[in-house]
Structure 1
Amino acid sequence: MPATLADPEPAPSGKTAAAGQSRSDGRRAWLPWLVRLVGAVASGFVLFLSFAPRPLWWLAPLAFAGFGLVLHGRRFWGGFGYGTAFGAGLFVPLLTWIQDFVGPGFGPVPWLALSLVLAAYLGLVGGLGSFVQLLPCAPCWLALVAIAAETPRAWFPFGGFPWGRVAFSQPEGAYLSLASIGGAPLVGFAVALSGFGLARVILRLRAREWRPVVVPALATLLPLVAGLAVWPTIGTEAQDGTRTVAAVQGSAPDTGLGLFVNGADLRSTHIAESERLIADIKAGKVPRPDLVVWPETATAVDGPDPRLDRLVADFGVPALIGASYELPGRRYENALVVWDPRTGQGRRYTKQQLVPFGEYVPARALTELVSPFTRSIDERTPGTGDPAALDVAGTKVGAMICYEVAYDYTGREAVDAGAELLTSPTNNAWYGHSDMTYQHLAMSRLRAVEHGRAVVVAATTGVSEIIQPDGTVSGSTGMFTPASLVRSVPLRTTVTVADRLGAWPEYVLAAAAVAGVLAGITRRRRSRRAEETRTGAAG
């Protein structure tokens, strides 16, 4: 009888059924891979969301939890691929401000190329993590590898680009206090440890393995508890008096790269805002400051400067002037110059950590073939022997000029030289209304806690801030608006544990990560040999 719509289909033969099952399995084989890939990118994007200007610091450990779930059971190359996807989910949106700098004429290549190079570091975390997952307390080893991978990012590419370190997502919240103990490396390790611990808790509960859940639960919670326990030790009181500081923000047109090409007159705008501030001081609208701070490269200095002499004399107090400082032979420095109201120019601090393609051009001959724009860049000479802390306004003031705040050593050198107050002058005029200025401020807030010092951030176009030693903000400006901040800050002399230890936390964490990877590789090789022995015996 012919089959009808109501009749069941005839049962396929064995061979036909097997072929159909094989095709079905082939179609489904890519599904777990796709889920893990989407999970890796999504986790990286969640980590991006934890960065400023969003106050969502608690998303960072959740991002590492997602990353840990994706990495579970992966081998090296699978882990490398998913780790790179995780990194792309973080760095591609985090560094969109590079587009604001270079402008649409250059296309997305510089932004995407740098993002993918940095993402490859997290690819290494995923690949090497495949070995340490075999060790006891795997979340701890995974966190060590994740933070150890940040160390070479301070060296390569282009002399280093440590932007987007895990710790920089924590300008507030439970983990921030740990900066006073072990600096940015310890904060980042604590965040990653909580996240990877949570991933292992989820895996244990899914497998209904109740007793082994204790160790990963401790890995999740102990960093949080430690951070909360350290907070009461964070000091904010004045130990050598106070200083009233003024941060001057002259602003500039929002024209991106046009500011560089057309030569925006930052000098005139900062002189004008300074004159408005002087008028407000004389009218009693704001208190007279003890120290005035100008932003990075707000003027050019190539010798005596009678106009700035008169301006600082009108203030009647010393100033720190961010300047492009010309040396003989058309050499330039990015400097912070002490300007006295009676004697004029004094000592200066010169920026040590220069910005690639902004203050110097790596592989210049090759780069100029790709981008003629780089021919117009006058390279800066990095500072080497300048004082890490400047004597001004009766105290020692340390400087971390803009990009330098991303590096651990600059603030540490200043405190070691006796700095009781830190400044972070910056020129954000090239980056439009992007997140870049807020990311810079987040780093400055972490440095305040790390060193136990107030930090004065003076920005050309915003955002300028006065940051207290516990990372709280006592004054803030808007973007692309002429404004000045006048606030009192404490002078502090206590040296934090982080400054006493110096770079040792980073070295210890990196060494432990290397030891863990080697132990994991050894363990895997032994497991393979044991399996081969069993297989041979069975044969």
Structure 2
Amino acid sequence: MDQKIKLLLLRYFSTKYFSALISGLLLTLSFPETGLFYLAFFALVPFFVSIRPLTSKESFYYGFIAGFFHFSTLIYWIVPTVHVYGGLHLVLAISTLILFCFYLALYAAIFAFFLKMIDPKSWVAPLLVSCLWVSLEYIRTYAFTGFSWGALGYSQYENLFLIQIADFSGVYGVSFLIILVNYLLASIWTSFKNRQQKKTLIPVVYTLILVAGAGFYGNKKIITIDSQIETAQKTAITVVQGNIKQNLKWSEDFKAKTIRKYIRLSHAESKTADLVIWPETALPFYYGLDKPLSDRVDQYIRSAKTNFLIGSPAFSSDENKVKFYNRAYMLNQFSIVTGTYDKTHLVPFGEYVPLGNYLTFLGKLTAQAGNFSMGDKTFIPLKFNDHNLKVTHKTGVLICFEILFPSIASKFVKNGADILTTITNDAWFGHTSAAMQHFSIAVFRAVENRRAIARAANTGISGFIDPKGEILDTTPLFTDMAITRQLPALKQISFYTRYGDVFAISCLFAICMVFMLKGVRKKF
């Protein structure tokens, strides 16, 4: 009897929320590594159609189910990451994923709840729904330290024509158009079903204009940026992928082997490079403190006669406290440190424990990485010269998780960076799709700021992206490799770099004003 009840409940749940599950799955399939980015443009159609007859309360649950299923299938890699490398028991690892997806699903639930306050028959409904979605994505980017992974626009990193609008709107403009198309398609389906086709005429017209306008803008921008790339100064950059296994990375016996490996991989490529980049914490020791290993690195740099950007843990101390940092060192051809950057946006529970004095039981998550402190937020680019010592370039360095935050890249470019670099250790992700998801986010930082990006990852994916977001070269996962590329150093400042998230903030302001006016009308 109990088995029959369970089957009936399961059948009821799967039938009632079938469209929510379908939309959640289609959203996930639009992200790397499936290559099905076009699914994003109709993934939410079943969701929008099914939610129409529901109450606000029912819509909240419906949105939650869709969001939970989407995020649990998109960031499933959290389980092996915290289980294999964080040392958590499998049950706790799965619980971590469930709790995190619960939080992320609340955004979809809130979206569905407020969606019911928008009149679907209004000709501006698709625009308001798109504004609502963008507003919540913007909030998610910065709320509670921020986590913008899975923002809808990131699914389009291969859609070169569409993503050019990011130099004005950021990734949010791409998300806006995706939601606009989804909601319009759902409206057309509903209107045909109810034989009220004329009501969708105006939304169809302005959606076609906006999408076509984005395509036209993208085409013109690609031509313009290609022209600028052709005449721009170039700098040769090498990224080195050491492919050091995470379980060996901090081993005392393996430190010398790690240095020898990076030197061997760098040797052939460094002869032509103006800058050689080693990944995040490539040096598994405190550079400058461990004298024999530091001297070995310095000797090689002097023999290579070029600049090196190297990731290493670092620390500072005073009478009361020792602070640890996730640092990038810029060393010139004489192995002199010409600049450093300490990571400012740390990974919660990965690099530090929030409220660590009270949550000491969570310390195990940060056992290998340490409990880092934030660097200062001046975002001063690091300088390096070309081989002839005639041209000085400046690079903004984003370490790992920082690539998720558009404002960090923009601040570096505002301060004079003509190249962006990102160094990371993605060994934690194993062979999951997380590595490609992480890489794809960098495409938008390139377009937003019109800067080429060099990416050095311990186990991959390393590579190069040009200022229009085109991926020039990549390395396979878990391969020992070094690649070199001539990158253009553009000087122009984009609208997005100069003014930031004006588009997203305008969407937030617009939707707040609409709901306020609706509230005032009801009151009076």
Question: Does the pair score TM above 0.5?
Answer: yes
Distance across 2 between alignment mates of 1:365 and 1:260: 28
Q: Tell me the residue number matched to 1:249.
A: 241
Q: Tell me the residue number matched to 1:217.
A: 204
Deviation at 1:422, TM superposition (A): 0.6
Distance across 1 between alignment mates of 2:482 and 2:126: 47
Asked if residue 495 in structure 1 is aligned to residue 480 in structure 2, the reply is: no
Secondary structure at 1:149 match in 2: helix
Alignment deviations for residues 68-103 of structure 1 (CA, whole Å, 9 cap, x no partner): 213224332112111111111210011111112111
Distance across 1 between alignment mates of 2:308 and 2:67: 42
Please report the TM-score for the alignment, with normalisation by the length of structure 1.
Answer: 0.85
Deviates more, 1:225-234 or 1:111-120: 225-234
Structure 1 268/132 Cα, relative in aligned 2: closer, same or farther at 3 Å?
A: farther
Secondary structure at 1:40 match in 2: helix
Aligned partners of 1:295 and 1:322 also within 8 Å = yes
The within-5 A match list for 1:27-176 is 35=15, 37-103=17-83, 105-107=89-91, 108-133=94-119, 135-157=122-144, 159-173=145-159, 174-176=161-163
For residue 209 of structure 1, what is the amino acid of its counterpart? Q
Q: Tell me the residue number matched to 2:388.
A: none
For residue 347 of structure 1, what is the amino acid of its counterpart? G
Q: Tell me the residue number matched to 1:233.
A: 221
Structure 1 502/124 Cα, relative in aligned 2: closer, same or farther at 3 Å?
A: same
Q: Tell me the residue number matched to 1:269.
A: 258
Deviates more, 1:335-344 or 1:288-297: 335-344
Deviation at 1:151, TM superposition (A): 2.4
Q: Tell me the residue number matched to 1:341.
A: 333
Deviation at 1:227, TM superposition (A): 2.2
Deviation at 1:469, TM superposition (A): 1.3
Distance across 1 between alignment mates of 2:254 and 2:129: 49
For residue 50 of structure 2, what is the amino acid of its counterpart? V
Structure 1 263/515 Cα, relative in aligned 2: closer, same or farther at 3 Å?
A: farther
For residue 209 of structure 2, what is the amino acid of its counterpart? L
Aligned partners of 1:197 and 1:219 also within 8 Å = no
User: 367, 377, 380: which is aligned to 2:372?
Assistant: 380
Aligned partners of 1:132 and 1:516 also within 8 Å = no
Aligned-residue Cα RMSD (Å) equals 2.6
Q: Tell me the residue number matched to 1:182.
A: 169
Q: Tell me the residue number matched to 1:303.
A: 288
Distance across 1 between alignment mates of 2:156 and 2:95: 29
Deviation at 1:260, TM superposition (A): 7.2
The within-5 A match list for 1:288-367 is 288-299=272-283, 300-303=285-288, 305-328=294-317, 329-367=321-359
Alignment deviations for residues 490-534 of structure 1 (CA, whole Å, 9 cap, x no partner): 1101111222221222211111122233344556x47xx9xxxxx
For residue 25 of structure 2, what is the amino acid of its counterpart? F
Deviation at 1:266, TM superposition (A): 6.9
Aligned partners of 1:139 and 1:219 also within 8 Å = no
Distance across 2 between alignment mates of 1:29 and 1:205: 33
Q: Bigger radius of gyration, 1 or 2? A: 1
Deviation at 1:365, TM superposition (A): 4.3
Distance across 2 between alignment mates of 1:115 and 1:442: 21
For residue 342 of structure 2, what is the amino acid of its counterpart? T
Distance across 1 between alignment mates of 2:338 and 2:67: 45
Alignment deviations for residues 453-487 of structure 1 (CA, whole Å, 9 cap, x no partner): 11101000011011111211211111111101111
For residue 414 of structure 1, what is the amino acid of its counterpart? F
Distance across 1 between alignment mates of 2:381 and 2:489: 14
Aligned partners of 2:249 and 2:255 also within 8 Å = no
Amino-acid identity (%): 25
For residue 153 of structure 2, what is the amino acid of its counterpart? A
Which segments of 5 or more consecutive residues in structure 1 lack a partner in the other structure?
1-27, 283-287, 530-539
Distance across 1 between alignment mates of 2:491 and 2:374: 28
Asked if residue 474 in structure 1 is aligned to residue 472 in structure 2, the reply is: yes
For residue 35 of structure 2, what is the amino acid of its counterpart? P
Structure 1 126/307 Cα, relative in aligned 2: closer, same or farther at 3 Å?
A: same
For residue 151 of structure 2, what is the amino acid of its counterpart? R
Distance across 2 between alignment mates of 1:349 and 1:502: 22
For residue 236 of structure 2, what is the amino acid of its counterpart? T
Distance across 2 between alignment mates of 1:233 and 1:52: 25
Q: Tell me the residue number matched to 2:397.
A: 399
Distance across 1 between alignment mates of 2:14 and 2:448: 41
Deviation at 1:427, TM superposition (A): 0.8
Distance across 1 between alignment mates of 2:375 and 2:456: 20
Deviation at 1:294, TM superposition (A): 1.1
Deviates more, 1:59-68 or 1:271-280: 271-280
Aligned partners of 1:400 and 1:411 also within 8 Å = yes
Structure 1 339/504 Cα, relative in aligned 2: closer, same or farther at 3 Å?
A: same
Distance across 1 between alignment mates of 2:314 and 2:155: 33
Distance across 1 between alignment mates of 2:9 and 2:70: 27
Secondary structure at 2:315 match in 1: strand
Structure 1 211/30 Cα, relative in aligned 2: closer, same or farther at 3 Å?
A: farther
Distance across 2 between alignment mates of 1:377 and 1:390: 24
Distance across 2 between alignment mates of 1:164 and 1:358: 19
Secondary structure at 2:445 match in 1: helix
Deviation at 1:178, TM superposition (A): 1.2
Deviation at 1:38, TM superposition (A): 1.2
Deviation at 1:345, TM superposition (A): 1.5
Aligned partners of 2:76 and 2:97 also within 8 Å = yes
Aligned length: 490
Deviation at 1:379, TM superposition (A): 1.4
For residue 420 of structure 2, what is the amino acid of its counterpart? L
Secondary structure at 2:117 match in 1: helix
Distance across 1 between alignment mates of 2:256 and 2:282: 5
For residue 261 of structure 2, what is the amino acid of its counterpart? A
Secondary structure at 2:491 match in 1: coil
